[in-house]
């Protein structure tokens, strides 16, 4: 019988995973609609907790005001980078002229970014709740407490980094780090969910060795992370191309990315092949309808959606809805692959001990 306090943690953990994925979807919508600078300041939006709906609600000099604040904040960040020995990155911020370009108020973009921030705040409170409830495992599984508080620290840093993303006008390398930290948060949530969920269950016994399956599953996770990083860089390249073309000729943006897009497309085929092999092994090794087999099937469905959205992006002039879905399902794929790895790793370890 699982104690109620532990059941509460497990349920909240799962809810937090879902909400984190929805937050990533919200971020994808912000990115695909060009709403990243909809709120030029942080954590407020135009100095308000509830943003304006009309430019008439803003002071006449609002553009100059927020550019000046942004420049001052970026200089503080650049000095931090200098102290870290990253002078070249600091200089790239100081000499980025796009940071000096004021953003014209757009109510739609402002509220899109504001909703994204609300989702971020909800995620933060859920992670705080997990950290508090994790004490139910004190003395029994202390790693859950440590990881829950670590995630809380990371999400705090992620929120600060989000403010830097805004102040630097979506500087590419900062956007990439922001995305990778989201994967770290998800990875910790998936780990704690699996670990707590399995504390009261016996591992499924599988006939045969699972060495190759362990290697393939962790390899698939690594490939997905690489794909997400390259995909983020593709998106950054398209942003640069679209600005250079004054947002005209949208149908030609993908073709102008060059080899980077080709790498992203070709690696997608490798991801597909690896996961087909993994599914075949899981289907052969796991008896009955085990959780590992269901996760493997879910990975297949997500991959199909990823391929479809990728084709839509490359052949139909980057429709915004496909961009948001592509980001969402790439992170969902990562989460499922990592969950499958944890299931296989634990079962393999169990078999070796018995």
Average pLDDT for runs of 10 along the chain of length 354: 89 96 92 83 86 89 86 89 89 84 87 92 95 94 95 92 80 86 96 87 49 87 94 87 85 90 91 91 72 89 94 90 93 95 66 41
The pLDDT value recorded for residue 351 is 42
Residues 6 or more apart from 152 whose CB is under 8 A from it?
127, 128, 130, 131
Long-range residue pairs from 332-336, CB within 8 A, at least 24 positions apart, any chain: 332/21, 332/302, 333/224, 333/299, 333/302, 333/303, 333/306, 334/183, 334/186, 334/187, 334/221, 334/224, 334/225, 334/228, 335/17, 335/21, 335/186, 335/187, 335/190, 336/295, 336/298, 336/299, 336/302
The pLDDT value recorded for residue 264 is 92
Structural contact between residues 147 and 188, judged by C-beta atoms closer than 8 angstroms: yes
The pLDDT value recorded for residue 208 is 42
Read off the pTM: 0.88
Burial zone of 3 (CB within 10 Å; 0-12 exposed, 13-18 middle, 19+ buried): exposed
C-alpha to C-alpha distance for 333 and 270, rounded to whole angstroms:
14
The pLDDT value recorded for residue 291 is 83
Residue written as token pair 């989201």: 182
C-alpha to C-alpha distance for 49 and 60, rounded to whole angstroms:
20
The pLDDT value recorded for residue 352 is 43
The pLDDT value recorded for residue 349 is 44
Burial zone of 120 (CB within 10 Å; 0-12 exposed, 13-18 middle, 19+ buried): buried
The pLDDT value recorded for residue 348 is 44
C-alpha to C-alpha distance for 130 and 331, rounded to whole angstroms:
21
């Amino acid at each position: 019988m699982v104690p109620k306090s532990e059941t509460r943690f497990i349920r909240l953990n799962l809810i937090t995973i879902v909400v984190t994925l929805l937050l990533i979807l919200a971020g994808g919508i912000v990115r695909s609609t060009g709403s990243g600078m909809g709120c030029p300041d942080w954590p407020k939006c135009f100095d308000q907790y509830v943003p304006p709906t009309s430019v008439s609600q803003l002071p006449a000099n609002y553009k100059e005001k927020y550019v000046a604040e942004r420049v001052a904040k970026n200089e503080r960040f650049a000095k931090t980078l200098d102290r870290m020995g990253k002078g070249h990155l600091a200089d790239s911020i100081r000499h980025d002229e796009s940071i000096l370009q004021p953003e014209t108020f757009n109510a739609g973009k402002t509220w899109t970014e504001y909703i994204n921030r609300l989702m971020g705040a909800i995620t933060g409170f859920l992670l705080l709740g997990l950290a508090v409830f994790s004490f139910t495992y004190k003395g029994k599984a202390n790693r859950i407490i440590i990881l829950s508080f670590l995630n809380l620290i990371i999400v705090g840093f992620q929120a600060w980094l989000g403010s830097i993303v805004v102040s630097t006008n979506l500087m590419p390398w900062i956007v990439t780090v922001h995305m990778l930290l989201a994967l770290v948060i998800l990875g910790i949530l998936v780990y704690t969910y699996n670990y707590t969920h399995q504390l009261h269950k016996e591992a499924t016994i599988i006939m045969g060795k699972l060495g190759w399956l362990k290697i393939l599953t962790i390899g698939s996770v690594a490939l997905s992370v690489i794909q997400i990083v390259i995909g983020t860089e593709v998106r950054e390249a398209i942003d640069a191309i679209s600005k250079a073309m004054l947002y005209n000729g949208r149908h030609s943006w993908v073709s102008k990315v060059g080899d980077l897009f080709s790498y992203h497309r070709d690696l997608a085929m490798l991801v597909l092949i690896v996961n087909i092999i993994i599914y075949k092994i899981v289907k052969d090794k796991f008896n009955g309808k085990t959780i590992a087999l269901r996760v493997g099937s879910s990975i297949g469905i997500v991959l199909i959606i990823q391929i479809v959205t990728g084709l839509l992006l490359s052949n139909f002039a980057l429709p915004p809805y496909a961009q948001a879905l592509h980001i969402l399902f790439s992170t969902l794929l990562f989460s499922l692959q990592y969950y499958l790895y944890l299931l296989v790793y634990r079962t393999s370890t169990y078999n070796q001990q018995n």
